[in-house]
Structure 1
């Protein structure tokens, strides 16, 4: 059996690994953008930022013995390629360097004459600390959950409590026609669904390391852990979303997403707000960085047989280099990648949820192809590449106004491929 203390610590750890800079910045943006319709936007944000990750944790954890099992029924080659791209995306090429870059840019003034020196020192110290915590993979969960997460929760609670019980203003009509769509798409920016697919394996590894549990007991442990982590995320998103809405009639419409958060905190807490925000941002980012370094090193260690410690160091070095380019460049690169990956990942999540009722692997293949065609076109759109013929087809796809244009092609692809004979 397991103790309640183990559940709480693991739940805090999962919360911390999922809660990065994007989770802190985007909820206030959703509230600010939607104004008096902030609740609708936040509900949609929670659906993609909490609902999909919750499903991802269970489906990926029990899809098979390891991460490769998640997409294996499409094909072994596809599974390897998908997982490598997924790991690199949430790892050293995109999400991991973003943690350090965002933490720095939210704390330090770009106009400072010593800005570059401050950046080099901060990034090196930030990733150095993250590396130290992640070098012992069997201690990652305990250390993150027991040491860093309580600090993060305390500073978040202070900000949200003040913002909710002493609101700065009230939400105004921001003339957003589709607040649900706005919040739904912004939820992708957390990258938590992608992260949850791989974090679930680390969570299970921690559960199994010193406990003899049946699969039923493991499922119970995972359910309780997820309720703590994702329930906490939903509360934080709701609080930050409300704070964003209260300044929708105060701040100028062209304020950036970082400015919404920093200005709101300063208005709520005065000069102390800067210090509290700095602790909050750094804590959120560094806990996520620890989980990402551990995840990347563990996966590629099993794939290549190179030592975990060496891969953790290499991952950290690459992340430091990319972090030096700054948030804007990292985000510019990440947007088309996320637009392409996210629908495929969600499709695979639901396929794995129904895997026991799907006997023909070709359904997996057709669903992924249908999804991939649409998400590839959307990625081209994001990069400014417009193909008129494809654009005309895209416009008539159902649900494209909700950002879900891939759903019908996914279903059609699965149905068509169902009638292709299964290879034994």
Structure 2
């Protein structure tokens, strides 16, 4: 059996796919991962022995470019990405028995078109609950499409989001589908998210919401209360066996545990002095500092020996040895910190990060910064919470509950679905998109 895993996104999108690839390989499956052509992703996948197929342009150049994309340019950009990703994925998927996709909406739509072309099962995966429709949470506003601030009915908000998907992504997706001889879709959100998506999030950190609302029958999502039939597997965690660099180990051994500050794939455009603010706030707590360079290219602010700048290091080995972690709130980083039992301060920037910030605060394992731009005073206030003994005790308690088998659960589910498809148990065609292949049951 051969499976294609595909995404167009940052490391937070690619690394869980690498974890699933390793889990599938352990079950005897041949796997390819189609991801952005960034060198760091090629190294990541080579490091675990997974075949890498580069797709489209490097995503880091897009994220950190001098001129962020305007909302007006999004539909055209989405159309171009759909076409480019399709070409990469259709070549990578040759001979595959299933396609699993995540990342930017146009890239997922392209992957589903490839699955239809091949007549194989398709699965969409989300890494956080609020990506998927539910009456129990609000959607995320899309570029140029703000949600009405006075609307509190989540069903209404999800219907508005469905309209925004059709306006922003629908034209490009349908133009491409027409060009390759596939029928147009009349519900872009449902087409991309499918009726039975996977949720690769830890059930303690990011539980799928439930409540008194009784799910209704499709069509979906004309009434967003129906929602998709979400299958939560747990987070897909890639074991990291790399030793810490000698200079990092020496720094850790030279004094009390430091505070790690890093914002991963976030360029931090609105916080030009974030390194200075963070270092000064941590020093005011009497702590040393590890500065993670990340895509924001953070640097030391002076030559004092209480700070060290680090690049791509093994967070699974590092975070158990720090006093706290200040980060952007990506799903992967939040999970890694929680699993390490380290208190965390989340400075959320975009999309899912406010959700993870809120969950960290609700669980008592850290603090949520109010907004994306920290000041000395605002960061000091949340550091006070994170560095308190009670927070560390709570973080250690929650760490013991974090599951590590999510990728294995997903891999077994995928194999079972493909086996049932081969036995002739194919799901019925969608009344909305009429594809030749449907999301896996």
TM-score in terms of structure 1 length: 0.30
TM-score in terms of structure 2 length: 0.29
More helix by share: 1
More strand by share: 2
Greater RCO (Cα-Cα under 8 Å, separation 6 or more): 1
